[in-house]
Amino acid sequence: MEIRQLGYVGVQGPDPKAWLDFATRVCGLMPARVVPGEAWGMPGLPGDGPAAGGSGIAADGSVFLKMDEWQWRVAFHPGAAPGLRYLGLEVRGPAELAAAEAELAARGLAVARATAEELEARAVHGMVHLRDPAGQRVELFHGVTRDRNFSSPAGVPGFVTGSLGLGHVVLLVPDLDAALAFYCGALGFRLSDYVTFGPGQGVWFLHCNPRHHSIALFGAGGAHKRINHFMLECNSLDDVGSARDIARRQGTPIVIDLGRHMNDHMVSFYVANPSQFAIEYGWGGRTIDDACWQVGRYDSVESIWGHPELTELAAQMARTIAAAGN
Ligand code: FE2
């Protein structure tokens, strides 16, 4: 099976307005036409549209956010428990989706075909969904809806997306072996490298295209929520610095300040979002050529420079896991 990219993510929480403000003002994402059905310009032909894009908040309280020519890539849905709701992984087309569905079913995984309503809700042509071993909803899809007019309210010129996907997501998993069997064994992700920082503790970084990792699995025992952060990549270091300035001016908590990661070389900072996890906002990540890539092992999360809070946060996590007996 070939997953081509992490195409979209859906998050949830209690406050759509807070998410819209955070995503547009700090991250520079653009309010998208809400899904399903909000049009602009002539039907089927996106025109100049309103300067800010779509209305921002759908009738049900959902917020759809745009970062390139895809209609949307990040969605927020109202929900009492803040966190991650679904991940969308792209396959090439209908034949590949059908093959993936058969392959997953043959492995004994409970995979369901999307209803017409579910397809409309994601604005995709085909989709199946299943749960990973931690219970996280994973969607395989093809046929995204595209439009144009990406224009960041915060002036961000654009993001590194295209065939590399929206960025990466780091999942907290209670059973690392089961998670690796699912994402690598069943879905075909490949190991980029891994970092260990305690017995049975670590983060495994997985790729499905040249982006260093689209998914990382953080062995975190059973007592944690399902997502640590997701990452958006800018085209310039200045965009990262400007976003950091905005976050600081607005008093949005910076969880981990600027630094450059040892493994993917991303220069980034981490900012708290209203769904109680973090967004990593970065630039300059290196890519992988599978023909010559060698899997690396790191024994510390320490960065090349910066990320001053990272080591202590990892140590705190390790202590929590150990105390929980995992
Ligand atoms: Fe990250």
CB contact at 8 A, 181 and 106: no
In a domain, 153, yes or no: no
Least confidently predicted of 20-24, 137-141, 265-269, 308-312: 308-312
How far, in Å, from the CA of 168 to the mean position of ligand 1? 7
- State whether residue 170 is helix, strand or coil: strand
How far, in Å, from the CA of 216 to the mean position of ligand 1? 8
Percent of the residues in the chain that have a pLDDT greater than 70, as a whole number:
91
Question: Which domain range does residue 259 map to?
Answer: 5-148+158-321
Residue partners of 278: CB distance under 8 A and separation at least 6: 228, 229, 255, 256, 270, 271, 272
E-only strand ranges, the chain: 5-13, 30-31, 63-66, 74-78, 83-90, 112-113, 124-131, 137-144, 168-173, 190-198, 201-207, 215-219, 227-234, 254-260, 267-272, 278-283, 296-298, 305-306
Mean pLDDT on 161-181: 95
How far, in Å, from the CA of 116 to the mean position of ligand 1? 34
Q: What's the number of domains the chain is made of?
A: 1
Q: Find how far residue 305's CA is from the centre of its chain.
A: 24
**The pLDDT value given to residue 45:** 40
Residue 267: pLDDT above 60? yes
In a domain, 224, yes or no: yes
Q: What is d(CA 93, CA 141) in angstroms, rounded to the nearest whole number? A: 8
Q: Sorting pLDDT into bands at 50, 70 and 90, what band is 223? A: low
How far, in Å, from the CA of 271 to the mean position of ligand 1? 12
Average pLDDT, the chain: 90
95-147 residue pLDDT tens: 999 999 999 999 999 999 999 999 999 999 999 999 999 999 999 999 999 98
How far, in Å, from the CA of 278 to the mean position of ligand 1? 9
CA distances from 162 to 90, 155, 183, 238, 308 (A): 12, 19, 22, 21, 31
How far, in Å, from the CA of 170 to the mean position of ligand 1? 6
Residue 281: pLDDT above 90? yes
First vs last C-alpha separation in the chain:
32
Q: What is d(CA 201, CA 11) in angstroms, rounded to the nearest whole number? A: 26
Q: Which residues surround ligand 1, an ion (CB under 5 A)?
A: 231, 280
Task: Using alpha carbons, select from 96, 103, 183, 91 the residue that is nearest to residue 141.
Answer: 91
**How many other C-beta atoms can be found within 10 angstroms of the C-beta atom of residue 37?**
9
Residue partners of 104: CB distance under 8 A and separation at least 6: 111, 128, 130, 186
Least confidently predicted of 110-114, 188-192, 223-227, 256-260: 223-227
How far, in Å, from the CA of 231 to the mean position of ligand 1? 5
- Read off the tokens for 50: 């309103």
Residue 54: pLDDT above 90? no
How far, in Å, from the CA of 51 to the mean position of ligand 1? 31
In a domain, 326, yes or no: no
Instruction: Name the residue with tokens 């209609």.
Output: 71
Least confidently predicted of 235-249, 267-281, 307-321: 307-321
**The pLDDT value given to residue 39:** 54
Q: Sorting pLDDT into bands at 50, 70 and 90, what band is 34? A: confident
Residue 254: pLDDT above 60? yes
How far, in Å, from the CA of 50 to the mean position of ligand 1? 33
Residue 185: pLDDT above 60? yes
**The pLDDT value given to residue 60:** 85
CATH number, position 53 = 3.10.180.10
Q: Sorting pLDDT into bands at 50, 70 and 90, what band is 311? A: confident
**The pLDDT value given to residue 167:** 98
Mean pLDDT on 140-164: 92
- Count Cα neighbours of 34 within 13 Å in the Cβ-side half-sphere: 13
Mean pLDDT on 256-285: 97
- Residue type present at position 261: H
Least confidently predicted of 26-35, 188-197, 215-224: 215-224
In degrees, to the nearest 5, what angle opens at C-alpha 142 toward C-alphas 140 and 147? 125
**Sheet containing strand 227-234, strands side by side:** 296-298, 190-198, 201-207, 215-219, 168-173, 227-234, 278-283, 267-272, 254-260, 305-306
In a domain, 137, yes or no: yes
Q: Pick the residue with more confidence: 324 or 80?
A: 80
- Read off the tokens for 235: 């085209």
Task: Using alpha carbons, select from 57, 88, 272, 244 the residue that is nearest to residue 166.
Answer: 88
How far, in Å, from the CA of 9 to the mean position of ligand 1? 15
Q: What is d(CA 110, CA 246) in angstroms, rounded to the nearest whole number? A: 44
290-301 residue pLDDT tens: 999 999 999 888
Q: What is d(CA 35, CA 165) in angstroms, rounded to the nearest whole number? A: 20
How far, in Å, from the CA of 131 to the mean position of ligand 1? 22
